[in-house]
Amino acid sequence: MNKKVTAAITAVGGYVPEYRLTNFELEKMVDTNDEWIRTRTGISERRIQKGDGLATSDMVVPAVKELLEKRGIDAMEIDLMIVATVTPDMVFPATANIACDKLGAKNAWGFDLAAACSGFLFALTTGASFIESGRYKKVVVVGADKMSAIIDYTDRNTCVLFGDGAGAVLLEPNYDGYGVQDSILRTDGSGASFLHMKAGGSLRPATAETVANKEHYAFQEGQSVFKFAVKGMADVSAELLERNNLTGDDIAWLVPHQANKRIIDATANRMGLSPEKVMLNIERYGNTTAATIPLCLWEWKKQLNKGDLIVLAAFGGGFTWGATLVKWEY
When CB distances to ligand UT7 are compared, the closest residue is: 222
* Residue from the set 19, 20, 38, 40 that interacts with ligand UT7 by CB under 6 A: 40
Helix/strand/coil for 70:
helix
Amino acid of residue 53: G
Cβ 214 to ligand UT7 shortest distance, Å: 17
Cβ 122 to ligand UT7 shortest distance, Å: 14
What's the rounded Cα separation, in Å, for the pair 188 and 52?
37
Cβ 29 to ligand UT7 shortest distance, Å: 10
**Considering only CA atoms, which of 165, 130, 172, 127 is closest in space to residue 148?**
165
Which among 10-18, 33-41, 95-103, 170-178 is the span making contact with ligand UT7, rule CB under 6 A? 33-41
* Residue from the set 36, 153, 300, 330 that interacts with ligand UT7 by CB under 6 A: 36
Closest to ligand UT7 by CB, 60 or 313: 313
Alpha helices in the chain (DSSP H): 23-27, 34-41, 57-71, 95-103, 119-132, 156-159, 208-212, 222-243, 261-271, 282-285, 292-300
Amino acid of residue 168: A
**Considering only CA atoms, which of 119, 99, 3 is closest in space to residue 57?**
99
Intra-chain end-to-end CA distance of the chain, in Å: 25
**Which active-site residues does the annotation give?**
117, 257, 287
* Residue from the set 120, 130, 226, 298 that interacts with ligand UT7 by CB under 6 A: 226
Query: If binding means CB under 6 A, how many residues of this protein chain bind ligand UT7?
Result: 20
* Residue from the set 6, 10, 23, 41 that interacts with ligand UT7 by CB under 6 A: 41
- List interacting residues with ligand UT7 (CB under 6 A): 32, 36, 40-41, 117, 156-157, 160, 222-223, 225-226, 229, 259-260, 263, 287, 315-317
